[in-house]
Amino acid sequence: MARIRSWWGGLGRRRRVGIIALALVVLIIVGSVLLRAPLPHVELAAEPLFGPITNTMLAALFTIIVVGAVCFAVTRKMRIVPRGLQNIVEALLEMLINFVDDTAGKEYGRKFFPVIATIFVFVIANAWLALIPGFMTIGFWHETEEGARTIWPFLRGANTDINFPLALALVSFIFVEYWGLRSQGFSRYIRKFFSVGGLFRGIGQIFRGKIRSGLGTLFSGFVDFFAGFIEAISELVRILSLTVRLFGNMTAGEILLLMMIFLIPWVVPSVFYGLELFLGFVQALIFAGLTLVFLVIAVTPREEHE
Amino acid sequence: MGDIGINVPGLVAQLVCFFILFGLLTFLLYKPVRRILDERSERIRVSMEQAEQIKETMAKTEEQVKEQLDAARREGQNILAQAGQMGERLREEAREEAKQDAETIITRARTEIQRERDDAIQELRRQFADLAITAAEKVISETLDREKHRRLIEEVLEQAPKGQG
């Protein structure tokens, strides 16, 4: 070992780089020739394993167990002077707390934090744990209707099952609406989506004979009503956009990885693994961040224009 | 919706998963970490306050020490001044005493000398009388008795002015 090391150290920098490059090329060729992966069969819906239990449910459960175990290990004996893992987890959580507090303010930050943080942790943990070898690759053989044989994996990242992003989006939507209602009161909050005051005022003015100003009020009332309608639609569309963004990104990333493994089994997919790590973080941040922003918008009182 | 995989059981299952994780994280992560963060910031606040207090106390003590030192210095100077005055007075007294002693001694010496002189004059006078008698005896051998002679000389001497003898 020492001899190898001294030999390695004796080489010039250019030679060392050359040797590494050569080794990588050899690995790529060996992998391509000897260990071909099967062509992935893209299945958007999660594959059921045992009755209604799908592989994505198992993956979600796996994520819960891993995250729970880490948290348990960290917070079992908390020290006032943090050490090791506690330090890391505390620092990360504090970053998240600061992120939420900076956006929503101290008062709401404390209330919003648990949901935002759970969304973030769940998404990022799902994304990163799905990169563990064995996800998507170990499973049952399954005959499709066309007679092709594909693998139904035991574990598949929960983010790639549209039910999971949809569930998160629903939680986010309900949480946002709940806080909007709670902070502004029912009538104030609902007026944002359904404002007919202007219309009625306009009609009233017309009946009282003030046709000209009545028509003007009627028109602006109509605009208000339409804007409220659009507001309501956009609020609902958030569910769709949150769902599809996460689902699309994570599924595409997974398919990309499988395709790269199919094309060039060794070395090259590692680059895409790195990309997927980053993507998982970004998607978690976007989902949690958007939910936070929607919350802040919902609890911020609008200035009324009369 | 079948192709993309949306179904109610899946949705419900994932919702349940979310809430399980939510509860788990709330009790295993958020609450303990919040608690420890709050505790830590509280502790830092308290210790900073304590440090502030200690600093204040130290400043106060330093002030006191300075005051005491000043007082001690003033007292020392007072004592020194007093000692100087006392020394001066003692010296003055000693000088006075010495002067008096010297004067007494001189007076006594003067009296002594005066007495000695008087004695010497007395003696001289007596001896001179004797000498004169003896001489007269020699000259006029025994014309006068001794007692008569003495009286005669005494008379002469008495008549002679005093300070010339």
Mean pLDDT of chain A: 83
In a domain, B124, yes or no: yes
Q: Which of A63, A75, A163 sits opposite B6 (nearest CB)?
A: A163
Q: So what's the pLDDT on residue B165?
A: 44
Greater confidence (A118 vs A306) lies with A118
Q: What DSSP line would sit under A235-259, residue for residue?
A: HHHHHHHHHHHHHHHHHHHHHHHHH
> What's the gap between Cα B164 and its chain centre?
65
CB-CB neighbors (< 8 A) of B22 in chain A? 114-115, 118
Phi and psi angles of residue A150, each rounded to the nearest 5 degrees, phi first: -130, 165
Highest mean predicted confidence (pLDDT) among A56-65, B8-17, B54-63, B150-159? B54-63
DSSP state of A194: -
**Does some domain include residue B4?**
no
By residue count, chain A amounts to 306
Question: In sequence order, which residues have a C-beta less than 8 Å from that of residue B40 and are 6 or more positions away?
Answer: A80
Q: Domain total for chain B?
A: 1
Does a structural domain hold residue B1? Answer: no
Helix or strand run (H / E) with residue A153: strand A149-153
Instruction: Compare CB distances from B18 to A56, A162, A168 and report the shortest one's residue.
Output: A168
Please check whether residue B18 lies inside any domain of the structure: yes
* Of A90, A121, A163, Cβ closest to residue B14: A163
CB contact set of A108 (below 8 Å; sequence gap of 6+): A179, A295, A296, A299
Distance between CA A155 and CA B101 in Å, rounded? Answer: 128
Locate A129 and state its tokens: 């744990």
Question: Strand locations in A164-280, DSSP E?
Answer: none
Q: Give DSSP secondary structure letters for A101-119.
A: HHHHHHHHHHHHHHHHHHH
CB A36 within 8 A of CB A265: yes
- Give residue B81's pLDDT: 95
Under an 8 A CB cutoff, do B21 and A68 touch? Answer: yes
Is the per-residue pLDDT at B25 higher than 80?
Answer: yes
Is residue B3 domain-resident?
Answer: no
The reported pLDDT for the residue numbered A29 is 79
Nearest C-alpha neighbor of A38 from the set A255, A263, A253: A263
The answer to whether position B136 is within a domain reads yes
Residue B78 lies in a domain: yes
Domain that holds residue B142: 9-164
Interface residues on B facing A, Cβ-Cβ cutoff 8 A: 2-7, 9-11, 13-15, 17-18, 20-22, 24-26, 28-30, 32-33, 35-37, 39-40, 43
CB A126 within 8 A of CB A59: yes
In a domain, B88, yes or no: yes
pLDDT for B116: 92
pLDDT: is A12 or B59 the higher one?
B59
How far is the C-alpha of B62 from the C-alpha of B68, rounded, in Å?
A: 10
Would you say A163 and A125 are in contact if contact means Cβ atoms under 8 Å apart?
no
Of B13, B26, B43, the CB nearest to A114: B26
Residue A261 neighbours by CB under 8 Å, 6+ apart: A37, A269
pLDDT class for B142, splitting at 50, 70, 90? low
Residues from chain A that touch B33, judged by Cβ atoms under 8 A, are 75, 78, 89-90, 93-94
Query: Distance from A44 to chain B by nearest Cα, in Å?
Result: 5
Assign A303 a pLDDT band (cuts: 50, 70, 90). Answer: low
A86-131 pLDDT, tens per residue? Answer: 888 888 888 888 998 898 888 888 888 889 999 999 999 988 888 8
